[in-house]
Amino acid sequence: MAMKREQIEAEARRLPREERARLAEALIASLDEDAEIEEAWNAEIQRRVEELRRGAITSVPAEEVFAELDDLLKEVT
């Protein structure tokens, strides 16, 4: 017999906070037509964060990025 929504909600509320958050994210993602794209972006974000934490890559300050972009745009205009 299928569980009613109220039963599912009651069971979900018994989960630890982190598990409830994961469940909520999964349910919200299931409403999105582009859930696969969203999952791919989340995986990419996690990969980049891990690279930063390991020191495999370094970040560039936004001011530096925008200054370089301004210089490039000046060259083509």
List, for residues 26-69, the tens digit of each pLDDT value.
Answer: 898 788 667 788 889 999 999 999 999 999 999 999 999 999 99
Reported as a single tens digit per residue, the pLDDT across 5-25 is 999 999 999 999 999 999 998
- Phi, psi of 34, deg, nearest 5: -105, 40
H helices of 1-77, where? 5-13, 17-31, 35-54, 62-76
Q: Which two tokens stand for residue 10?
A: 């009651």
User: What amino acid is encoded at 73 in this protein?
Assistant: L
d(CA 32, CA 75): 41
